[in-house]
Homo-oligomer: A and B are copies of this chain.
Amino acid sequence: MNTKSPMAPEKFPDMPPIPGVRLASAACGVRYKGRRDVLLAELEHGTTAAGVFTLSKCPSAPVDWCRKALKGGQARALIVNSGNANAFTGRVGAEAVEQTVEAVAERLPCRPSMVYAASTGVIGEPLPYQRITDNLGALYESLSPAAWSEAAEAIATTDTYTKGVSRKARIGTVDVTINGIAKGSGMIAPNMGTMLVFLFTDAKLPSEILQPMLGDAVNRSFNSITVDSDTSTSDTVLLFATGKGAEHLAPASADDPLLDDFRAKLHEATLDLAHQIVRDGEGASKFVAIRVEGAEDDGAAKTIAFAIANSPLVKTAIAGEDANWGRIVMAVGKSGEKADRDLLGIRIGGVLVAANGCAVADFDEAPVAEHMKGRDIDIAVDLGIGTGSATVWTCDLTHAYIDINADYRT
Protein backbone atom coordinates (compact mmCIF):
# COMPACT_ATOMS: atom_id res chain seq x y z
CA MET A 1 0.00 0.00 0.00
CA ASN A 2 0.97 3.63 -0.47
CA THR A 3 2.08 5.81 2.43
CA LYS A 4 -0.78 5.90 4.90
CA SER A 5 -3.00 9.00 4.81
CA PRO A 6 -2.32 11.40 7.71
CA MET A 7 -6.06 11.16 8.40
CA ALA A 8 -6.18 7.34 8.72
CA PRO A 9 -7.88 5.89 11.82
CA GLU A 10 -5.48 4.63 14.49
CA LYS A 11 -6.36 1.01 13.83
CA PHE A 12 -8.73 -1.33 12.03
CA PRO A 13 -11.80 -1.80 14.26
CA ASP A 14 -12.60 -4.97 16.21
CA MET A 15 -15.19 -6.79 14.14
CA PRO A 16 -17.06 -9.70 15.77
CA PRO A 17 -18.26 -12.62 13.66
CA ILE A 18 -21.69 -12.31 12.04
CA PRO A 19 -23.58 -15.60 12.38
CA GLY A 20 -24.17 -16.91 8.87
CA VAL A 21 -21.14 -15.18 7.29
CA ARG A 22 -17.78 -16.82 6.55
CA LEU A 23 -14.96 -15.09 4.70
CA ALA A 24 -11.86 -16.12 2.77
CA SER A 25 -9.32 -14.18 0.77
CA ALA A 26 -6.23 -15.03 -1.23
CA ALA A 27 -3.54 -13.67 -3.51
CA CYS A 28 -4.67 -14.89 -6.93
CA GLY A 29 -2.47 -12.65 -9.09
CA VAL A 30 -5.40 -11.04 -10.95
CA ARG A 31 -3.10 -8.13 -11.73
CA TYR A 32 -0.41 -7.85 -9.10
CA LYS A 33 1.61 -10.62 -7.54
CA GLY A 34 1.91 -11.35 -3.84
CA ARG A 35 -1.03 -9.39 -2.46
CA ARG A 36 -4.55 -10.46 -1.50
CA ASP A 37 -6.86 -9.64 -4.39
CA VAL A 38 -9.86 -11.96 -4.18
CA LEU A 39 -12.54 -12.13 -1.49
CA LEU A 40 -15.12 -14.89 -1.15
CA ALA A 41 -17.96 -14.47 1.35
CA GLU A 42 -20.24 -17.43 2.00
CA LEU A 43 -23.73 -16.56 3.25
CA GLU A 44 -26.01 -19.11 4.87
CA HIS A 45 -29.35 -20.21 3.42
CA GLY A 46 -32.02 -17.57 3.94
CA THR A 47 -29.72 -14.56 3.59
CA THR A 48 -31.46 -11.54 2.00
CA ALA A 49 -29.78 -8.77 0.03
CA ALA A 50 -30.12 -5.09 -0.83
CA GLY A 51 -27.90 -3.07 -3.15
CA VAL A 52 -27.20 0.39 -4.50
CA PHE A 53 -25.08 0.84 -7.61
CA THR A 54 -23.36 3.49 -9.69
CA LEU A 55 -25.62 5.73 -11.78
CA SER A 56 -23.00 5.61 -14.54
CA LYS A 57 -24.43 4.97 -18.01
CA CYS A 58 -21.32 2.89 -18.66
CA PRO A 59 -21.51 0.44 -15.73
CA SER A 60 -19.10 -2.45 -15.27
CA ALA A 61 -20.12 -6.03 -16.11
CA PRO A 62 -20.42 -7.07 -12.43
CA VAL A 63 -22.73 -4.08 -11.75
CA ASP A 64 -24.98 -5.31 -14.60
CA TRP A 65 -24.91 -8.77 -13.01
CA CYS A 66 -25.71 -7.58 -9.47
CA ARG A 67 -28.68 -5.52 -10.68
CA LYS A 68 -30.16 -8.67 -12.21
CA ALA A 69 -29.30 -10.91 -9.23
CA LEU A 70 -30.87 -8.46 -6.78
CA LYS A 71 -34.31 -8.96 -8.34
CA GLY A 72 -34.46 -12.29 -6.48
CA GLY A 73 -33.48 -10.60 -3.20
CA GLN A 74 -31.66 -13.74 -2.00
CA ALA A 75 -27.92 -14.27 -1.51
CA ARG A 76 -25.60 -17.21 -0.86
CA ALA A 77 -22.21 -15.77 -1.81
CA LEU A 78 -20.19 -12.71 -2.75
CA ILE A 79 -17.09 -12.85 -4.92
CA VAL A 80 -14.88 -9.77 -5.32
CA ASN A 81 -11.59 -9.11 -7.04
CA SER A 82 -9.29 -6.10 -7.09
CA GLY A 83 -6.79 -5.23 -9.83
CA ASN A 84 -9.22 -5.36 -12.76
CA ALA A 85 -12.60 -3.56 -12.86
CA ASN A 86 -14.06 -5.69 -15.66
CA ALA A 87 -15.53 -2.42 -17.00
CA PHE A 88 -15.78 -1.50 -20.69
CA THR A 89 -14.86 -5.06 -21.58
CA GLY A 90 -17.80 -5.85 -23.87
CA ARG A 91 -19.21 -9.34 -24.26
CA VAL A 92 -16.12 -11.02 -22.76
CA GLY A 93 -16.68 -8.98 -19.62
CA ALA A 94 -20.20 -10.31 -19.14
CA GLU A 95 -18.92 -13.83 -19.83
CA ALA A 96 -16.19 -13.44 -17.24
CA VAL A 97 -18.80 -12.62 -14.58
CA GLU A 98 -20.99 -15.53 -15.63
CA GLN A 99 -18.09 -17.99 -15.56
CA THR A 100 -17.01 -16.76 -12.13
CA VAL A 101 -20.42 -16.83 -10.44
CA GLU A 102 -21.25 -20.22 -11.99
CA ALA A 103 -18.05 -21.68 -10.57
CA VAL A 104 -18.88 -20.24 -7.15
CA ALA A 105 -22.50 -21.49 -7.39
CA GLU A 106 -21.35 -24.99 -8.31
CA ARG A 107 -18.98 -25.11 -5.35
CA LEU A 108 -21.56 -24.12 -2.67
CA PRO A 109 -23.90 -25.28 -4.36
CA CYS A 110 -26.60 -22.73 -5.10
CA ARG A 111 -28.25 -21.00 -8.02
CA PRO A 112 -25.89 -18.55 -9.85
CA SER A 113 -28.44 -15.75 -9.31
CA MET A 114 -27.69 -15.97 -5.57
CA VAL A 115 -24.02 -15.11 -6.14
CA TYR A 116 -23.06 -11.41 -6.19
CA ALA A 117 -19.91 -10.16 -7.89
CA ALA A 118 -17.84 -6.98 -7.79
CA SER A 119 -14.57 -5.95 -9.41
CA THR A 120 -12.28 -2.95 -9.00
CA GLY A 121 -9.12 -2.02 -10.85
CA VAL A 122 -8.11 -1.11 -14.39
CA ILE A 123 -10.82 -0.29 -16.91
CA GLY A 124 -10.90 -1.78 -20.39
CA GLU A 125 -8.83 -4.92 -19.93
CA PRO A 126 -10.39 -8.42 -20.06
CA LEU A 127 -10.65 -9.97 -16.59
CA PRO A 128 -8.49 -13.13 -16.37
CA TYR A 129 -11.25 -14.86 -14.42
CA GLN A 130 -9.56 -18.25 -14.42
CA ARG A 131 -7.10 -16.86 -11.88
CA ILE A 132 -10.14 -16.50 -9.60
CA THR A 133 -11.93 -19.75 -10.43
CA ASP A 134 -8.68 -21.76 -10.19
CA ASN A 135 -8.40 -20.66 -6.56
CA LEU A 136 -12.01 -21.26 -5.50
CA GLY A 137 -11.23 -24.64 -3.93
CA ALA A 138 -8.54 -23.20 -1.70
CA LEU A 139 -10.70 -20.17 -0.84
CA TYR A 140 -13.60 -22.42 0.10
CA GLU A 141 -11.35 -24.50 2.36
CA SER A 142 -10.14 -21.44 4.25
CA LEU A 143 -13.53 -19.82 4.98
CA SER A 144 -13.61 -18.37 8.48
CA PRO A 145 -16.05 -16.17 10.45
CA ALA A 146 -13.19 -13.97 11.72
CA ALA A 147 -11.27 -12.86 8.60
CA TRP A 148 -12.62 -9.28 8.35
CA SER A 149 -9.33 -7.42 8.19
CA GLU A 150 -8.01 -9.72 5.43
CA ALA A 151 -11.31 -9.28 3.55
CA ALA A 152 -10.91 -5.47 3.64
CA GLU A 153 -7.32 -5.87 2.43
CA ALA A 154 -8.35 -8.08 -0.51
CA ILE A 155 -10.72 -5.49 -2.00
CA ALA A 156 -8.34 -2.49 -1.71
CA THR A 157 -6.51 -0.87 -4.63
CA THR A 158 -4.93 2.58 -4.17
CA ASP A 159 -6.34 2.79 -0.64
CA THR A 160 -3.66 3.72 1.89
CA TYR A 161 -5.44 1.87 4.71
CA THR A 162 -8.10 -0.84 5.07
CA LYS A 163 -11.58 0.27 6.00
CA GLY A 164 -13.98 -1.49 8.35
CA VAL A 165 -16.80 -0.71 10.76
CA SER A 166 -18.92 -2.59 13.31
CA ARG A 167 -22.06 -1.52 15.17
CA LYS A 168 -24.48 -3.20 17.55
CA ALA A 169 -28.16 -2.39 17.00
CA ARG A 170 -31.26 -3.32 18.99
CA ILE A 171 -34.37 -4.70 17.37
CA GLY A 172 -36.93 -4.83 20.16
CA THR A 173 -35.04 -6.46 23.04
CA VAL A 174 -32.55 -8.27 20.82
CA ASP A 175 -29.00 -7.20 19.87
CA VAL A 176 -27.91 -7.66 16.28
CA THR A 177 -24.59 -6.77 14.64
CA ILE A 178 -23.82 -4.76 11.51
CA ASN A 179 -20.34 -5.18 10.00
CA GLY A 180 -19.04 -3.39 6.94
CA ILE A 181 -15.90 -3.17 4.84
CA ALA A 182 -15.13 -0.62 2.13
CA LYS A 183 -12.54 0.42 -0.39
CA GLY A 184 -12.12 3.71 -2.19
CA SER A 185 -9.64 6.54 -2.42
CA GLY A 186 -11.21 8.66 -5.13
CA MET A 187 -14.72 8.39 -6.55
CA ILE A 188 -12.66 6.69 -9.16
CA ALA A 189 -8.97 6.21 -8.60
CA PRO A 190 -6.26 6.26 -11.28
CA ASN A 191 -7.38 3.55 -13.69
CA MET A 192 -8.03 1.64 -10.48
CA GLY A 193 -11.66 2.50 -10.23
CA THR A 194 -14.33 2.40 -7.70
CA MET A 195 -15.85 2.52 -4.32
CA LEU A 196 -16.97 -0.90 -3.03
CA VAL A 197 -18.86 -1.37 0.24
CA PHE A 198 -20.11 -4.63 1.69
CA LEU A 199 -22.31 -4.69 4.77
CA PHE A 200 -23.41 -7.76 6.70
CA THR A 201 -25.89 -8.24 9.52
CA ASP A 202 -27.29 -11.20 11.38
CA ALA A 203 -30.70 -9.54 11.62
CA LYS A 204 -33.59 -11.29 9.92
CA LEU A 205 -35.03 -8.76 7.47
CA PRO A 206 -36.61 -9.39 4.09
CA SER A 207 -35.06 -7.76 1.04
CA GLU A 208 -38.00 -5.34 0.58
CA ILE A 209 -37.31 -3.94 4.08
CA LEU A 210 -33.53 -3.89 3.66
CA GLN A 211 -33.57 -2.05 0.33
CA PRO A 212 -35.26 1.24 1.37
CA MET A 213 -33.21 1.37 4.59
CA LEU A 214 -30.00 0.90 2.62
CA GLY A 215 -31.06 3.46 0.00
CA ASP A 216 -31.70 6.05 2.68
CA ALA A 217 -28.43 5.34 4.50
CA VAL A 218 -26.48 5.54 1.24
CA ASN A 219 -28.04 8.89 0.33
CA ARG A 220 -26.86 10.39 3.60
CA SER A 221 -23.40 8.80 3.50
CA PHE A 222 -21.79 7.53 0.29
CA ASN A 223 -23.97 9.77 -1.87
CA SER A 224 -22.93 12.73 0.29
CA ILE A 225 -19.18 12.46 -0.24
CA THR A 226 -16.93 13.53 -3.07
CA VAL A 227 -13.22 13.39 -3.63
CA ASP A 228 -12.96 14.62 -7.20
CA SER A 229 -16.53 14.66 -8.59
CA ASP A 230 -15.75 11.66 -10.78
CA THR A 231 -18.24 8.79 -10.58
CA SER A 232 -16.93 5.30 -11.05
CA THR A 233 -18.27 2.73 -13.51
CA SER A 234 -18.30 0.18 -10.69
CA ASP A 235 -19.55 1.79 -7.45
CA THR A 236 -21.35 -0.89 -5.47
CA VAL A 237 -22.89 -1.04 -2.00
CA LEU A 238 -24.36 -4.38 -0.94
CA LEU A 239 -26.07 -5.24 2.36
CA PHE A 240 -26.64 -8.86 3.34
CA ALA A 241 -28.87 -9.98 6.21
CA THR A 242 -28.33 -13.61 7.25
CA GLY A 243 -31.14 -13.83 9.83
CA LYS A 244 -28.88 -16.14 11.86
CA GLY A 245 -28.58 -13.95 14.96
CA ALA A 246 -30.79 -14.17 18.03
CA GLU A 247 -34.47 -14.29 17.16
CA HIS A 248 -36.20 -10.89 17.12
CA LEU A 249 -39.66 -9.54 16.32
CA ALA A 250 -40.46 -9.20 12.64
CA PRO A 251 -40.90 -5.57 11.52
CA ALA A 252 -43.87 -4.76 9.30
CA SER A 253 -42.00 -2.35 7.03
CA ALA A 254 -38.78 -0.35 6.68
CA ASP A 255 -40.48 2.50 8.60
CA ASP A 256 -41.48 0.28 11.54
CA PRO A 257 -40.39 1.99 14.82
CA LEU A 258 -39.02 -1.42 15.81
CA LEU A 259 -36.20 -0.66 13.34
CA ASP A 260 -35.40 2.84 14.63
CA ASP A 261 -32.16 1.78 16.28
CA PHE A 262 -31.15 -0.55 13.44
CA ARG A 263 -31.78 2.25 10.94
CA ALA A 264 -29.71 4.67 13.03
CA LYS A 265 -26.83 2.21 13.44
CA LEU A 266 -26.89 1.33 9.73
CA HIS A 267 -26.61 5.04 9.00
CA GLU A 268 -23.76 5.36 11.49
CA ALA A 269 -21.94 2.43 9.90
CA THR A 270 -22.30 3.77 6.35
CA LEU A 271 -21.31 7.29 7.44
CA ASP A 272 -18.26 5.96 9.25
CA LEU A 273 -17.10 4.09 6.13
CA ALA A 274 -17.92 7.09 3.89
CA HIS A 275 -15.78 9.34 6.08
CA GLN A 276 -12.98 6.77 6.01
CA ILE A 277 -13.07 6.91 2.20
CA VAL A 278 -12.87 10.72 2.15
CA ARG A 279 -10.03 10.69 4.70
CA ASP A 280 -8.22 8.40 2.25
CA GLY A 281 -9.05 10.65 -0.73
CA GLU A 282 -6.23 10.79 -3.24
CA GLY A 283 -3.68 13.30 -2.01
CA ALA A 284 -5.99 14.56 0.77
CA SER A 285 -4.53 16.51 3.67
CA LYS A 286 -7.80 17.92 5.09
CA PHE A 287 -11.24 16.47 5.83
CA VAL A 288 -13.93 19.03 5.02
CA ALA A 289 -17.53 19.05 6.24
CA ILE A 290 -19.85 21.37 4.33
CA ARG A 291 -23.19 22.12 5.96
CA VAL A 292 -25.80 24.04 3.97
CA GLU A 293 -28.96 25.34 5.65
CA GLY A 294 -31.78 27.71 4.74
CA ALA A 295 -31.98 26.47 1.14
CA GLU A 296 -35.19 26.19 -0.84
CA ASP A 297 -35.37 22.43 -0.10
CA ASP A 298 -33.06 19.56 0.87
CA GLY A 299 -32.26 18.76 -2.77
CA ALA A 300 -31.18 22.34 -3.44
CA ALA A 301 -29.09 22.29 -0.27
CA LYS A 302 -27.26 19.16 -1.43
CA THR A 303 -26.65 20.60 -4.91
CA ILE A 304 -25.17 23.76 -3.36
CA ALA A 305 -23.07 21.74 -0.90
CA PHE A 306 -21.67 19.66 -3.77
CA ALA A 307 -20.99 22.80 -5.86
CA ILE A 308 -18.79 23.99 -3.00
CA ALA A 309 -17.27 20.55 -2.34
CA ASN A 310 -16.38 19.99 -6.01
CA SER A 311 -15.03 23.46 -6.76
CA PRO A 312 -11.33 23.16 -7.59
CA LEU A 313 -10.86 26.75 -6.37
CA VAL A 314 -12.46 26.02 -2.99
CA LYS A 315 -10.49 22.77 -2.65
CA THR A 316 -7.15 24.34 -3.53
CA ALA A 317 -7.83 27.24 -1.15
CA ILE A 318 -8.38 24.73 1.67
CA ALA A 319 -5.14 22.95 0.72
CA GLY A 320 -3.46 26.36 1.01
CA GLU A 321 -5.10 26.91 4.45
CA ASP A 322 -6.74 30.03 3.03
CA ALA A 323 -10.18 30.96 4.46
CA ASN A 324 -11.19 32.16 1.01
CA TRP A 325 -14.92 32.75 1.49
CA GLY A 326 -15.16 34.64 -1.85
CA ARG A 327 -14.73 31.28 -3.60
CA ILE A 328 -17.55 29.84 -1.49
CA VAL A 329 -19.79 32.70 -2.68
CA MET A 330 -18.71 31.91 -6.24
CA ALA A 331 -19.59 28.20 -5.82
CA VAL A 332 -23.00 29.00 -4.29
CA GLY A 333 -23.66 31.33 -7.21
CA LYS A 334 -22.77 28.79 -9.88
CA SER A 335 -24.81 25.94 -8.38
CA GLY A 336 -27.90 26.98 -10.32
CA GLU A 337 -30.06 26.70 -7.21
CA LYS A 338 -32.09 29.56 -5.78
CA ALA A 339 -29.90 31.92 -3.77
CA ASP A 340 -30.04 35.54 -2.73
CA ARG A 341 -26.61 37.11 -2.54
CA ASP A 342 -27.76 39.60 0.05
CA LEU A 343 -29.16 36.96 2.47
CA LEU A 344 -26.18 34.60 2.35
CA GLY A 345 -24.25 33.85 5.54
CA ILE A 346 -20.95 31.93 5.65
CA ARG A 347 -19.21 30.48 8.69
CA ILE A 348 -15.74 28.96 8.72
CA GLY A 349 -14.83 27.02 11.85
CA GLY A 350 -17.95 28.46 13.44
CA VAL A 351 -16.97 32.10 12.83
CA LEU A 352 -19.32 34.24 10.74
CA VAL A 353 -17.15 35.73 7.99
CA ALA A 354 -19.73 36.95 5.48
CA ALA A 355 -23.34 38.05 5.84
CA ASN A 356 -25.89 40.42 4.31
CA GLY A 357 -24.14 40.43 0.95
CA CYS A 358 -20.72 41.50 2.19
CA ALA A 359 -17.83 40.61 4.48
CA VAL A 360 -18.47 40.84 8.19
CA ALA A 361 -16.70 44.01 9.27
CA ASP A 362 -13.78 43.32 11.58
CA PHE A 363 -14.44 39.63 12.21
CA ASP A 364 -11.68 38.01 14.25
CA GLU A 365 -9.36 36.41 11.68
CA ALA A 366 -7.12 34.63 14.23
CA PRO A 367 -9.44 31.71 15.16
CA VAL A 368 -10.37 31.28 11.48
CA ALA A 369 -6.70 31.11 10.43
CA GLU A 370 -6.05 28.63 13.25
CA HIS A 371 -9.02 26.49 12.15
CA MET A 372 -7.70 26.37 8.56
CA LYS A 373 -4.41 24.92 9.83
CA GLY A 374 -6.22 21.92 11.36
CA ARG A 375 -7.05 18.57 9.76
CA ASP A 376 -10.84 18.95 10.05
CA ILE A 377 -12.39 21.95 8.30
CA ASP A 378 -15.97 23.08 8.91
CA ILE A 379 -17.78 25.24 6.39
CA ALA A 380 -21.38 26.29 7.04
CA VAL A 381 -23.53 28.23 4.60
CA ASP A 382 -26.95 29.67 5.41
CA LEU A 383 -28.96 30.64 2.33
CA GLY A 384 -31.57 32.38 4.46
CA ILE A 385 -34.46 31.63 2.12
CA GLY A 386 -35.98 28.30 3.24
CA THR A 387 -35.64 25.25 5.46
CA GLY A 388 -33.71 22.88 3.18
CA SER A 389 -30.47 21.47 4.58
CA ALA A 390 -27.75 18.97 3.69
CA THR A 391 -24.23 18.06 4.73
CA VAL A 392 -21.57 16.70 2.42
CA TRP A 393 -17.98 15.75 3.06
CA THR A 394 -14.93 16.16 0.90
CA CYS A 395 -11.18 16.60 1.04
CA ASP A 396 -8.79 19.23 -0.28
CA LEU A 397 -7.07 19.24 -3.69
CA THR A 398 -3.31 19.02 -3.34
CA HIS A 399 -0.18 18.46 -5.38
CA ALA A 400 -0.33 14.82 -4.32
CA TYR A 401 -3.63 14.39 -6.24
CA ILE A 402 -1.86 15.53 -9.40
CA ASP A 403 1.12 13.29 -8.63
CA ILE A 404 -1.11 10.24 -8.20
CA ASN A 405 -3.24 10.91 -11.27
CA ALA A 406 -1.02 12.63 -13.80
CA ASP A 407 2.12 10.67 -13.16
CA TYR A 408 0.39 7.34 -12.80
CA ARG A 409 1.93 5.58 -15.77
CA THR A 410 5.40 7.08 -15.42
Give me the interface of A with B, judged by CB distance under 8 Å.
Answer: 54-59, 87-93, 122-126, 186, 188, 190-191, 193, 228-233, 310-313, 316-317, 319-320, 322, 324-327, 329-342, 344, 354, 356-359, 397-399, 401-402, 405-410
Ordered by A's residue number, 7 sampled pairs between the chains whose C-beta atoms are within 8 Å are A123-B327, A188-B330, A230-B330, A231-B334, A233-B329, A316-B401, A402-B402
Nearest Cβ in chain B — how far from A274, in angstroms?
18
CA distance A331 to B229 in the complex (A): 10
Q: Please indicate the chain B residues that have their CB under 8 angstroms from the CB of A93 in the complex.
A: 357-358
> For A359, what are the chain B residues with a Cβ–Cβ distance below 8 Å?
88, 124-125
Residue of B nearest to A125 (CB): B359
Partner of A90, one of B229, B340, B357, B407: B357
Q: Which residues of B contact A193 (CB under 8 A)?
A: 326, 330
Question: Quick one: which of A59, A317, A341 has the most chain B CB within 10 A?
Answer: A341
Q: Which chain B residue lies CB-closest to A325?
A: B124
A368 to chain B, nearest CB (A): 13
Residues of B within 8 A of A332 (CB): 57-58
For A335, list chain B residues within 8 Å (CB): 57
Contact yes or no, B333 A233, CB < 8 A? yes
| Chain copies in complex | 2
Contacts A88-B358, A229-B311 given: A330-B410 contact, CB under 8 Å?
no
Closest chain B residue, CB of each to CB of A191: B326
In the complex, which of the residues B55, B57, B188 contacts A341, with contact meaning CB atoms closer than 8 Å? Answer: B57
Task: Give bound CA distance, A310 to B307, whole Å.
Answer: 13
Q: Is the CB of B330 within 8 A of A231?
A: yes
In the complex, what distance in Å separates the CA atom of A338 from the CA atom of B58?
10
CB distance A320 to B57 under 8 Å? no
Q: Select one of B319, B342, B410 contacting A406, CB under 8 A.
A: B319
**Chain B residues positioned under 8 Å from A233 (CB to CB):** 329-330, 333
| Contact (Cβ within 8 A) B87 A329 | yes
Q: Are A320 and B231 in contact (CB under 8 A)?
A: no
| Chain B residues, CB < 8 A from A409 | 320, 322
Assembled-state Cα–Cα distance A327/B408 (Å): 13
In the complex, chain B residues whose CB is within 8 Å of the CB of A406 = 316-317, 319-320, 322, 397-398
A214 to B408 alpha-carbon distance, docked (Å): 43
Flag if B338 contacts A57 (CB, 8 Å).
yes
Give the one of A316, A338, A354, A399 with max B CB within 10 A: A316
CA distance A211 to B181 in the complex (A): 57
- Picked from B59, B322, B329, the residue with its CB within 8 Å of the CB of A123 is B329
Partner of A329, one of B58, B341, B357: B58
Q: Which of B312, B322, B336 is the one whose CB lies under 8 Å from A312?
A: B312
